Structure 1
Amino acid sequence: MASAAIPVPAISAVYPPARLHFRTKLLPSSSPRRLRRRLAPPLRAAAAAASSPSSSSSSSLSLGAVPGHEVEEFDVTSSGSNAGLLDRVRSGIAILRDVLPGGSWWDLEQIEWGKGSAEVWNSGKKGLSVSAALRRMWMLVANDKLVIFVAFACLAFAALSEISIPHFLTASIFSAQSQQTMMFYRNARLLVLLCLISGICSGLRGCCFGIANMILVRRMREMLYDAILFQDISFLDKETVGDLTSRLGSDCQQVSRVIGNDLNLILRNALQATGALIYLFILSWRLTLSTLAICSALSTIMFFYGHLIQSELEYGSPVRTGCAGAVGTNGYQKQAAKLTQELVASANEVAQETLSLFRTVRVYGTEKQEFGRYMNWLKSLSEVSLRQSVAYGFWSSSFNFLYHSTQIIAVLVGGISILSGQISAEQLTKFILYSEWLIYSTWWVGDNWSSLMQSIGASEKVFELMDLLPSKQFLAEGKQFLLLFDYMTFFLLVFVMICLLQRWQCSEVVQAFSKVSYKGVKLQKLEGRIDFVDVSFNYPSRSTASVLRKLNLSVHPNEVIAIVGLSGSGKSTLVNLLLGLYEPTSGQILVDGVPLTDLSIKWLRKNIGYVGQEPRLFRMDVSSNIRYGCPRDVSHEEVERAAKQAYAHEFISSLPNGYETLVDDALLSGGQKQRIAIARAILRDPKILILDEATSALDAESEFYVKEVLHLVQNRSSVKRTVLVIAHRLSTIQAADKIIVMDSGSIVEMGNHKELIEKDGLYAQLVKRQANAFAC
């Protein structure tokens, strides 16, 4: 923050002494001690300047910069040497007011976010309520009711047996003291029985809740991963990989604590607290009311801890808008947990990006810069954790004070009751034991309620992603089936009504519907004709920039079409639309005369082979990488044949284990990965083959081989197919049947190589530029 100049009004004889106008506001990035240390010198200087004679002629005074703090105005009347002390006292009071519960230091929205993100929250929607979150989680484990029933039954038996132990323990001691032998052995046998029941039921309870926990986290990850996989490509344009992997990993694991840990302990301790309270009333209602007064104060602090420090948020900024609804409604711990998950996801994204581009980082020497990016997020994360820890400290100190106060009150009131003959020593001993049980059970309920709030805070983003509707192309596959079978439509409507009556969430209905195996139109035979009719397109993230403008193009079956143009002219976008990765903003795409939106997208992609600009290999052997995505079972001979057609067989054979060699992106050169990707596309035997700058990573020899593949496609009838080639190296596509030249999202030239050279247009210019570049 910039240095703040603090005005001091001109001193006149009418208003002695001077009135300094300043106030410091503590921001989250500074601790009170550090603030006090930084403020002391400028405050003393200000007071001295105000009291000195020379200050009467000055109209303003600069206190200098106080890093991490902003300066506001309030009146402080200083007089002589007492001004500095008074200012320090008032600044100390302001600091204390900020750090006490409800002060500005607790405001999560003021934390300085890591660089590179202006928005931590995606929207200003109201946070998920506890009941709604628990209902969603229950639906995920509802099919395993037996496990849940056994878990809760064991919980009840364990809690009741444990709450009975102090009674028989005290009775055994006092019966032995009073020489009641039969009573002593009877109580001892009951103690052994209760301990056995408690041990067995506690073990079964932990086992069953652990199984329920495993079921919950597994199904959450299944449904979340399923929801992500069936999203539009534009979804991945907005979401980062690190964020999504964090949701699948740490967030789902945090949410799984709800059943296995939080609810388990909350219900057990709530049941024990209820039993202890009933027993206390039976022993002595006077002592119980005294204890309840303390427990009520403890419960108030627990509630305050769960919902305290709720900032009075100002709406307007992206961060404020996102925080507003959840903080004021669902509690500080829940909101802090949600923010923690967001910050962890952002830190993971930075780490993943840096490690995936490690060679680039090393070459450019930006290790410290990347370390700084990562540390920015960790700093923000530590700010949130600090506030959570301090809040927990407030709670812990309050609990210990109240716990010991309860003991003291019980002893004092109980002692007076014994002296007056109202209760016996045995009853007082039982009362103290059960009051401790009550106070500890209450504490555990509050402590685990705080943990529950954190888990629910982490669940909000997970459920938000799970509720996303699948891409339209997957839902559209059900159209024809529903038209042919009306009874299925009726069944679906009845199913939806039942779900709504049972208060199911929309996501469960949609996910149940999406699991039905519907199919779109499948052509009996794909010829390979492609038509673009008045196609325009804007990317969702850049809605104002038109990538394609009223484009018309017809590709005949078995033609080899080359698409060239300057970078950003829309070549790859054309291919993305044909693959169904995006939908045109206007116009339509026809395949063999059928609109692309009416076709089964899964069937269409089985008939398309695609090689991208930067092919990626999975961490598996070479043979499996070539087989990847092939819709049929293929033999090793077919894999080798495809590799030979892609001129990859020779280098694959030279690998340590040949086709069984384990590879990934880091073990092969760009040209080798490109040829494996071409072999993968050829193995599918597609009717339409798309090479999106597939020769960009090839050396001169490999490029020659790829040109031979294209020549083979053109001249051998047994392997003829429609081929679309996007290339920057124009020498690769000179033999194409037709060359399409694009510029600014439109087709500006069309013809074969010879015709376009004779036109001396954009294509001819591109050829000359490349020839000159190679000549140099």
Structure 2
Amino acid sequence: MLAEPVTVSRALLRMWQLVAQDRWVIFAAFSALIIAALSEISVPHYLTASIFSAQSGEVAVFHRNVRLLVLLCFTSGICSGLRGCCFGIANMILVKRMRETLYSSLLLQDISFFDSETVGDLTSRLGADCQQVSRVIGNDLNLILRNGLQGVGALIYLLYLSWPLGLCTLIICSTLSAVMLLYGSYQKKAAKLIQECTASANEVAQETFSLMRTVRVYGTEKDEVERYKHWLGKLADISLRQSAAYGFWNLSFNTLYHSTQIIAVLFGGTSILAGHITAEQLTKFILYSEWLIYSTWWVGDNLSSLMQSVGASEKVFQLMDLLPSDQFISKGLKLQNLLGHIEFENVSFHYSSRPTVPVLQHVSISVHPNEVVAIVGLSGSGKSTLVNLLLRLYEPTNGQILIDGFSLKELDVMWWRERIGFVGQEPRLFRMDISSNIRYGCTRDIKQKDVEWAAKQAYAHDFISSLPHGYQTLVDDDLLSGGQKQRIAIARAILRDPTVLILDEATSALDAESEHNVKGVLRAIRSDLATRRSVIVIAHRLSTIQAADRIVVMDAGQVVEMGSHRELLLKDGLYARLTRRQADAVA
């Protein structure tokens, strides 16, 4: 991530890069802004001139001033409308591109990144933070530039009318600007703290809602409320300090604003009495003084909002600047004829966050084409880690994995994953219809009859057909049981026609009949000589894998036994003990 903090100029440059291809909208918006600002700043001059020309009886001058005043008002109104429309479009483009870029950047990170980042934090960046940043063009810059331009115009006019009075007003506005900068700097820090506390509060709420059944069973509703209230309390403290700072800012503004009025009346009245200026000039001076002070106030108010947006953008831009995983950058080999011969050669692994805790130690396993290899062992023995390494979700710490004699690191990772069918122990389905869930991830042309064939192979066709809308039924958490979801996930894996099929506890949520049917799928895979398919099965239910060609028994990250079901029973080792325990549990 970026080592240095995001400054206003850097944040604005990044936003410009996001909207640069639609720069015509920005140029149109700023052109309209300049014309509208110049028109508005000219209104007080002609308004005052119209009143005093009417008072002095100068009819021709009065009519000319009124015509100019009407023209300026129409010009200002039309350009303000165009300005608002264009800035609104720019806003939409910015937030769309920012979310697209951030989402793409996040999806291309290593799995280890998602191990360290929370879902609530990432969704908060995509949602609230991107929306906060989108205010920069449409609201903050728009109003800062408009009022800044009008303020400069008002100051020039004041110095032209009376440079001593103009300098006094300038000193007051400079003081106000200094207070404004301090306030804006504080707002930037406060925005970052609010951003972090909001993300933490969202994470607590999301976690509680997703585990609501656990919360309800253990009766920890009050504890969860306290956890949520903890972060709300921090948010309230920051907001309280923000309110105090805003009060100080308003106090400064009102004091300095009224000082300007007093100075204008005091010195302006004296100048009128001395004959140095006219009443018309003093009126114009007071109007433009108010315009200048209010422009300064608006610039300060929007600058503090800009600082908040920049504070919110810091984490967003850091995430956007993350480099994609090497797996997506490097172009590897694509084998012409993949057989599915897999070899783990002296593979060791530990997580980067826990380098002293080995997960796998010197594991050597081979899987031949059209062979079913089962991996069993106690929980935490490293079975699923082997699968994660084969899927290249993680890289081995030592050793290597060979596919048909080629190192897995040399292969194109996307090509490799397209040739794997994977069913996890906790099947996750997307909120889309069942047919789309089964098709998910298939790159070839899939027809509905292919989907139904895969569902039949996974013994899911009957229950899908009995649903209200059949294969077009929208998947909902409460609609399907765990076993039904698992069978849909198996159908998804079969539809890919993979060279390597991985079933990681794929029968854990199935009833006895469904498990028997899935065993039938395994038997069919073995007997189908037309497709050379390597199958790796991880199972706690040892009855599922008794017919496997080889069974690998793991313990504490090491391979301790290997052989057929009968051979391992004769050894009377860990596998035999596990088999007896399960038989006793069933009895």
> When the two structures are superposed, what TM-score results if normalisation uses the length of structure 1?
0.75
Which amino acid is the alignment partner of residue 355 of structure 1? F
Q: Give the corresponding residue for 2:288.
A: 434
Which amino acid is the alignment partner of residue 550 of structure 1? H
Per-residue CA deviation, residues 710-745 of structure 1 (Å, 9 max, x unaligned), is 111112223451100000000000000000000111
Q: Give the corresponding residue for 2:421.
A: 609
Whether 1:471 and 2:325 are equivalent positions in the alignment is yes
Per-residue CA deviation, residues 140-172 of structure 1 (Å, 9 max, x unaligned), is 111112111111111111110000000000000
- The runs of at least 4 consecutive aligned structure 1 residues that moved more than 6 Å come to none
Does the CA-based 8 Å contact 1:618-1:665 persist in structure 2? no
Per-residue CA deviation, residues 309-333 of structure 1 (Å, 9 max, x unaligned), is xxxxxxxxxxxxxxxxxxxxxx221
Q: Give the corresponding residue for 1:622.
A: 434
* DSSP-derived class of the 2:359 partner: strand
Q: Give the corresponding residue for 2:540.
A: 728
CA–CA distance in structure 2, aligned partners of residues 720 and 367 of structure 1: 53
CA–CA distance in structure 2, aligned partners of residues 398 and 234 of structure 1: 50
Q: Give the corresponding residue for 2:276.
A: 422
Deviation at residue 186 of structure 1 after TM alignment: 0.5
Whether 1:716 and 2:531 are equivalent positions in the alignment is no
Q: Give the corresponding residue for 2:78.
A: 200
Deviation at residue 210 of structure 1 after TM alignment: 1.1
CA–CA distance in structure 1, aligned partners of residues 21 and 481 of structure 2: 49
Q: Which runs of 5+ in 1 are unaligned?
A: 1-121, 307-330, 478-519
CA–CA distance in structure 2, aligned partners of residues 225 and 401 of structure 1: 47
Does the CA-based 8 Å contact 2:349-2:361 persist in structure 1? yes
Deviation at residue 279 of structure 1 after TM alignment: 0.3
Per-residue CA deviation, residues 475-528 of structure 1 (Å, 9 max, x unaligned), is 122xxxxxxxxxxxxxxxxxxxxxxxxxxxxxxxxxxxxxxxxxx211111101
Q: Give the corresponding residue for 1:228.
A: 106
CA–CA distance in structure 2, aligned partners of residues 639 and 586 of structure 1: 40
Q: How does 1:119-138 map to 2 (within 5 A)?
A: 125-138=3-16
Whether 1:402 and 2:256 are equivalent positions in the alignment is yes
Q: Give the corresponding residue for 1:643.
A: 455
Per-residue CA deviation, residues 684-717 of structure 1 (Å, 9 max, x unaligned), is 1101000000011111111111111111111222
Q: Give the corresponding residue for 2:349.
A: 537
Which amino acid is the alignment partner of residue 268 of structure 2? G
> When the two structures are superposed, what TM-score results if normalisation uses the length of structure 2?
0.98
Per-residue CA deviation, residues 51-75 of structure 1 (Å, 9 max, x unaligned), is xxxxxxxxxxxxxxxxxxxxxxxxx
Q: Give the corresponding residue for 1:575.
A: 387
Whether 1:596 and 2:408 are equivalent positions in the alignment is yes
Q: How does 1:458-537 map to 2 (within 5 A)?
A: 458-477=312-331, 520-537=332-349
Q: Give the corresponding residue for 1:688.
A: 500
Q: How does 1:50-69 map to 2 (within 5 A)?
A: none
Percent identity of equivalent pairs: 73
CA–CA distance in structure 2, aligned partners of residues 608 and 592 of structure 1: 14
CA–CA distance in structure 2, aligned partners of residues 290 and 605 of structure 1: 72
Whether 1:750 and 2:571 are equivalent positions in the alignment is no
Q: Among residues 431, 448, 451, which one is paired with 2:305 in the alignment?
A: 451
Does the CA-based 8 Å contact 2:369-2:532 persist in structure 1? no
Q: Give the corresponding residue for 1:267.
A: 145
CA–CA distance in structure 2, aligned partners of residues 749 and 165 of structure 1: 91
CA–CA distance in structure 2, aligned partners of residues 720 and 526 of structure 1: 9
CA–CA distance in structure 2, aligned partners of residues 231 and 718 of structure 1: 38
CA–CA distance in structure 2, aligned partners of residues 700 and 383 of structure 1: 56
CA–CA distance in structure 2, aligned partners of residues 182 and 612 of structure 1: 87
Q: Among residues 232, 237, 247, which one is paired with 2:115 in the alignment?
A: 237
CA–CA distance in structure 2, aligned partners of residues 348 and 158 of structure 1: 42
Does the CA-based 8 Å contact 2:340-2:532 persist in structure 1? no
Compute the RMSD of aligned alpha carbons.
Answer: 1.2
CA–CA distance in structure 1, aligned partners of residues 238 and 488 of structure 2: 48
Q: Give the corresponding residue for 1:346.
A: 200
CA–CA distance in structure 1, aligned partners of residues 370 and 34 of structure 2: 73
Does the CA-based 8 Å contact 2:374-2:550 persist in structure 1? yes
Per-residue CA deviation, residues 257-311 of structure 1 (Å, 9 max, x unaligned), is 11111111111111101000000011111211222232222122212323xxxxx
Which amino acid is the alignment partner of residue 287 of structure 2? L
Q: Among residues 153, 156, 175, which one is paired with 1:297 in the alignment?
A: 175
Deviation at residue 391 of structure 1 after TM alignment: 0.3
Which amino acid is the alignment partner of residue 473 of structure 1? Q
Q: Among residues 467, 482, 490, which one is paired with 1:655 in the alignment?
A: 467
CA–CA distance in structure 2, aligned partners of residues 185 and 283 of structure 1: 24
Aligned residues: 587
Q: Among residues 259, 263, 266, which one is paired with 1:412 in the alignment?
A: 266
* DSSP-derived class of the 2:353 partner: helix
Which amino acid is the alignment partner of residue 388 of structure 1? Q
Q: Give the corresponding residue for 1:561.
A: 373
Per-residue CA deviation, residues 507-563 of structure 1 (Å, 9 max, x unaligned), is xxxxxxxxxxxxx21111110100111111111222221101111111111100000
CA–CA distance in structure 2, aligned partners of residues 392 and 738 of structure 1: 72
CA–CA distance in structure 2, aligned partners of residues 460 and 474 of structure 1: 25
Per-residue CA deviation, residues 457-491 of structure 1 (Å, 9 max, x unaligned), is 000100110111111111122xxxxxxxxxxxxxx
Does the CA-based 8 Å contact 1:616-1:665 persist in structure 2? no
Per-residue CA deviation, residues 86-139 of structure 1 (Å, 9 max, x unaligned), is xxxxxxxxxxxxxxxxxxxxxxxxxxxxxxxxxxxx99x442111111111111
CA–CA distance in structure 2, aligned partners of residues 416 and 340 of structure 1: 51
Q: Which has the higher contact order (CA 8 A, sep 6+)?
A: 2
Q: Among residues 49, 53, 56, which one is paired with 1:178 in the alignment?
A: 56
Deviation at residue 393 of structure 1 after TM alignment: 0.6
Whether 1:378 and 2:190 are equivalent positions in the alignment is no
Q: Give the corresponding residue for 1:153.
A: 31
Whether 1:740 and 2:586 are equivalent positions in the alignment is no
Does the CA-based 8 Å contact 1:689-1:721 persist in structure 2? yes
Which amino acid is the alignment partner of residue 406 of structure 1? T
Per-residue CA deviation, residues 320-347 of structure 1 (Å, 9 max, x unaligned), is xxxxxxxxxxx22111101111111111
CA–CA distance in structure 1, aligned partners of residues 175 and 434 of structure 2: 68
Which amino acid is the alignment partner of residue 765 of structure 1? R
Which amino acid is the alignment partner of residue 468 of structure 2? P
* DSSP-derived class of the 1:637 partner: helix
Whether 1:766 and 2:556 are equivalent positions in the alignment is no
CA–CA distance in structure 2, aligned partners of residues 475 and 301 of structure 1: 49
CA–CA distance in structure 1, aligned partners of residues 531 and 480 of structure 2: 29
CA–CA distance in structure 2, aligned partners of residues 140 and 151 of structure 1: 16
Which amino acid is the alignment partner of residue 286 of structure 2? I
* DSSP-derived class of the 1:717 partner: coil
CA–CA distance in structure 2, aligned partners of residues 528 and 250 of structure 1: 46
Q: Give the corresponding residue for 1:253.
A: 131
Q: Give the corresponding residue for 2:154.
A: 276
CA–CA distance in structure 2, aligned partners of residues 446 and 208 of structure 1: 23
CA–CA distance in structure 2, aligned partners of residues 633 and 541 of structure 1: 42
Which amino acid is the alignment partner of residue 95 of structure 2? V
Q: Which runs of 5+ in 2 are unaligned?
A: none
CA–CA distance in structure 2, aligned partners of residues 368 and 719 of structure 1: 57
Q: Give the corresponding residue for 1:392.
A: 246
CA–CA distance in structure 1, aligned partners of residues 169 and 444 of structure 2: 74
CA–CA distance in structure 2, aligned partners of residues 720 and 651 of structure 1: 30
Which amino acid is the alignment partner of residue 497 of structure 2? D
CA–CA distance in structure 1, aligned partners of residues 178 and 497 of structure 2: 71
